[in-house]
């Protein structure tokens, strides 16, 4: 028979280890950013990008480059890239998520917080 207590303990361990990954001061923003990154109706970034540092995300997006070391980029560069990538690359395949009002400025700030947090070398 399945031991319910054991199951609960294992489930709790999963929750705790997942949350320690984001145990930073901008915790809430980082969590929100992850949601925007993976949600199809929001950023849907994972459709095109693999990403360093978050193995829970399917690493199958290969239209854009794998997102690495973004903690070393200026925040403004990342914000502008997500707002409208045509600014820095006229021939980009990446859609202008902010300029087209698919996601809000706040959601872009959250994405930047998330991407800079997870791509930190650990």
Count, residues in the chain: 122
In whole angstroms, what separates CA 62 from the centre of its chain? 15
Long-range contacts of 36-40 (CB under 8 A, 24+ apart): 36/103, 36/107, 36/110, 36/111, 36/114, 37/111, 37/114, 37/115
> Contacts with ligand HEC in 3-32 (CB under 6 A)?
none
CB of 115: closest distance to ligand HEC in angstroms? 6
Residue 65 interacting with ligand HEC (CB under 6 A): yes
Nearer to ligand HEC, 17 or 91 (CB): 91
Residues 2, 4, 23, 93: which binds ligand HEC (CB under 6 A)? Answer: 93
**Pattern 34-53, ligand HEC, x by CB under 6 A:** ---------xxx-xxx----
Is the separation of the CB atoms in 116 and 78 below 8 Å?
Answer: yes
Site residues for ligand HEC per CB under 6 A:
43-45, 47-49, 63-65, 67, 78, 81-82, 85, 89, 92-95, 97, 111
């Amino acid at each position: 028979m399945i031991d319910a207590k054991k199951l609960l303990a294992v489930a709790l361990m999963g929750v705790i280890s997942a949350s320690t990954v984001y145990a930073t001061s901008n915790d809430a923003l980082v969590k929100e950013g992850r949601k925007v990154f993976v949600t199809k109706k929001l950023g849907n970034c994972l459709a095109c990008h693999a990403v360093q540092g978050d193995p829970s995300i399917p690493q199958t997006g290969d239209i854009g480059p794998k997102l690495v070391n973004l903690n070393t980029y200026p925040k403004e560069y990342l914000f502008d890239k997500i707002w409208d990538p045509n600014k820095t690359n006229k021939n980009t395949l990446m859609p202008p998520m902010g300029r087209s009002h698919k996601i809000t400025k706040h959601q872009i700030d959250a994405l930047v917080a998330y991407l800079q947090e997870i791509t930190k070398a650990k």
